[in-house]
Structure 1
């Protein structure tokens, strides 16, 4: 089987926010995600794909520049996209090679730093629906709003149409953009569609809540911190509690987990609208579809809510690539991948030269043969404190191999090891016991330490 590289492939680049691998195609039978599941049947699903940092801005900047956070020097929500002069973003490289590039929705995070989200460098036309905050996503309807029947301050349950919220309107605008492209077949396009869900608040329209029976939603399976965990690995779940104590009741937890599932199905429906229009217009015959989330999310696991850690639930992401024609169909690969790899993969598929400084690896060998290996290890990191001024005190670097997750917490200035974590995913995929201090795993720790050191030789930011 071969994949034919050609300059005229279109690219539909679909991003979402805070999506775990809680999807039917990833083996969660409770979740109603038929449209994303169908995309997985039409392409290659990466079962072990990981973000570079479990926070919106640094993760997205890494994807869009093909560089690790230590290279982009983006570890928080306020770093600019172009902190160094030599950055060439992914859509910018497509634009330089004759593509019409368009951004609808949240692709970059930091619109408030970079004005109009890197226009005109990255995009042929000014982005739309990319600004605001998640809390600004209040329902827009004619007349009086229906009653909110949700039970927490983080949830809303209203009988409103999809288009009342950002993602419904983003899907609508993406459909309109595809219709415009179909009338100009001589112009290849790179269309980025960034959905805001399932990020907080969990406010999907009521019909998506109704898809789930509350009695069937499971409780948190590992709600306690791992045994022998260093305190620095945890956090205060600031996104939910804003520094206040966690006072969630059992009914609150169930409501939040229900709201998250509703938000996932709401997202799936919007993805389905875009993919359906792609097929109706027959653009699917020459369009690569990429689906990814910027990071995962904790829903009470390890006592945590939100992201901002190096645990598997934060670092692991859904990631699917569908290539028209001869690409593999319906294959779930266990080959390790990083979101960093999206950049060189798309360039190779489209026959575009790779600019200097790209740190990811092309996954085309895996798209040809799902058993192929491109990465023997992948890397995620996160600073402490989570929200710092100037520079972090400590950086946690995590390496994931097929079996192990190993994390070193390093003093940001001296690079001395502050603490370590080691989890054996063959026997403990819930990461419930930190094995780093056990003598019997000393050789494993030493080997993973060397892998990690080789990946973080980037010089520290000049201070």
Structure 2
């Protein structure tokens, strides 16, 4: 009997099987028995717009009700108590996180600058692209990149994903609305208003985005690992959510955030003139005695966002991906609720720069853990690459904190950078915050010791006892300041395309 054809067929079959296993390793991260390669985890990447530390597990406001985020923390999520943003406004913060480069290297300092029009940013491989180009299926809904007008349609960063969807949802009018108004005072930016939507919770935008994300967890993605990005627009202004979330906070029980009316007096130029004054939104809330109403509205919006996120987290926990998915939940920057006489962001104080950041890694033994290590959102890019076994991107500015996830008690006090506009920078090492105004007010400085002044009431920059601290932190200021990239020439298209939409622009 001639066995050569059978032998050839058997050898060919074994060779084909071997090749298929190699392809499986390269595309899904699965192991051949005996191999020690790092598995490619899935990634659930959740961005929340304008969320500060008013989250139960962060303790920023004891009144807030965030049961889903709190449960996530109790059941394996590590809560970073000292996480900071690369910039204190949406576009430059997200652009830095997603490109892995600080604004000082790209020139993307403001909301009007599209990274795709910045010569130093347009060709960078963004975080979702990096995953998508290395075997992951990438998909998104909601705001991940900042939105920009474009002749071909709204640029939402859809080009960075294999799938980008608009699940729908809206307000359908309002049962009631409040907007503090005073003749002669007009707050710029998004409308400073709040109220109850007529739409049921299940019909609103963030809920439908989170439900869409939950539904994706029933898919198999053709055997590939996934990178699922989900963006929530609340608690971004205007603060419109269903009545049930306002009902969680009876107005007569709301305690507004504390502030000091002389808080800005010690932040001065060389000629001793103050740099800052009360913000227009603060003046509106203060002049109409509506601090409690504004605080209540923000609390309601935070609870709404938490409720929506719970839909996705519950679906993940009940899915086949529960034990092999990294979850990162982050806010793009902080938000003031009257502290420093401001309602908003776009400053370099702690309330603007500090962000909520929760992480869960498969196999982690840590539960209900708060990590005090100093991290920055720009560190997310290199950290996810390391956790998922992808090669490092040598263009990243950030530092992987994978070792900190393995040991949350590890000392991690590397000074980290937050920038707002050209040549205005803040450095924090977890104890001190140092700020230098090279663009806004040449040479002006701030220094705060959070050991006994967490709300940053007393500027120590002129105190000679702290000269050594100032000298040390100054060495961490950027040595390169990329000029402003061009403003997006199509921003007016964005305004016309989104007229009447209460989501973040």
Q: TM-score, normalised by structure 2?
A: 0.79
Out of 200, 203, 211, the residue aligned to residue 248 of structure 2 is 211
8 Å CA contact 2:93, 2:332 repeated in 1: yes
Mark the CA change 1:232 to 1:128 in structure 2 (over 3 Å): closer, same or farther: farther
Mark the CA change 1:5 to 1:154 in structure 2 (over 3 Å): closer, same or farther: farther
Deviations 1:245-267 (A, max 9, x none): 63644642111100000000000
List gaps (5 residues or longer) in structure 2.
Answer: 1-35, 181-191, 486-505
Please report the RMSD computed on the Cα atoms of aligned residues, expressed in angstroms: 2.4
Partner of 2:48: 16
Are 1:35 and 2:68 matched, yes or no?
yes
Are 1:201 and 2:238 matched, yes or no?
yes
Q: Hey, what's the Cα distance between the residues in 2 that align with 1:111 and 1:6?
A: 38
Q: Hey, what's the Cα distance between the residues in 2 that align with 1:38 and 1:247?
A: 34
Size of the aligned set, in residue pairs, is: 427
After TM superposition, give the deviation of residue 77 of structure 1 in Å: 0.8
Are 1:449 and 2:488 matched, yes or no?
no
Q: Hey, what's the Cα distance between the residues in 2 that align with 1:126 and 1:79?
A: 22
Q: Hey, what's the Cα distance between the residues in 2 that align with 1:138 and 1:234?
A: 37
8 Å CA contact 1:5, 1:350 repeated in 2: no
8 Å CA contact 2:147, 2:157 repeated in 1: no
Deviations 1:196-249 (A, max 9, x none): 0101111111001111132332233124224411267536646x48xxx63644
Q: Hey, what's the Cα distance between the residues in 1 that align with 2:67 and 2:337?
A: 22
Deviations 1:257-295 (A, max 9, x none): 000000000000000000011112232111110000000
List gaps (5 residues or longer) in structure 1.
Answer: 131-136, 384-391
SS at match of 1:291: strand
Q: Hey, what's the Cα distance between the residues in 1 that align with 2:63 and 2:394?
A: 44
Larger radius of gyration, structure 1 or 2? 2
Q: Hey, what's the Cα distance between the residues in 2 that align with 1:228 and 1:365?
A: 39
Out of 411, 426, 429, the residue aligned to residue 401 of structure 1 is 429
Correspondence 1:111-126 to 2 at 5 A? 111-112=148-149, 115-120=154-159, 122-126=160-164
Out of 274, 290, 293, the residue aligned to residue 331 of structure 2 is 293
Correspondence 1:5-404 to 2 at 5 A? 6-27=38-59, 28-41=61-74, 42-82=76-116, 83=118, 84=120, 85-112=122-149, 115-120=154-159, 122-128=160-166, 139-140=171-172, 147-148=175-176, 150=178, 152=180, 154-158=193-197, 160-179=199-218, 181=219, 183-184=220-221, 186-224=223-261, 225-230=263-268, 234=276, 237=279, 240=281, 246=284, 248-249=286-287, 251-326=289-364, 328-383=366-421, 392=422, 395-404=423-432
Deviations 1:167-214 (A, max 9, x none): 1221122122222x2x44612100000000101111111001111132
Q: Hey, what's the Cα distance between the residues in 1 that align with 2:130 and 2:377?
A: 17
SS at match of 2:294: helix
Q: Hey, what's the Cα distance between the residues in 1 that align with 2:400 and 2:361?
A: 14
Q: Hey, what's the Cα distance between the residues in 1 that align with 2:388 and 2:37?
A: 5
Q: Hey, what's the Cα distance between the residues in 2 that align with 1:26 and 1:5?
A: 36
Q: Hey, what's the Cα distance between the residues in 1 that align with 2:484 and 2:310?
A: 45
Deviates more, 1:160-169 or 1:224-233: 224-233
Mark the CA change 1:462 to 1:316 in structure 2 (over 3 Å): closer, same or farther: closer
Partner of 1:458: 480
Mark the CA change 1:232 to 1:52 in structure 2 (over 3 Å): closer, same or farther: farther
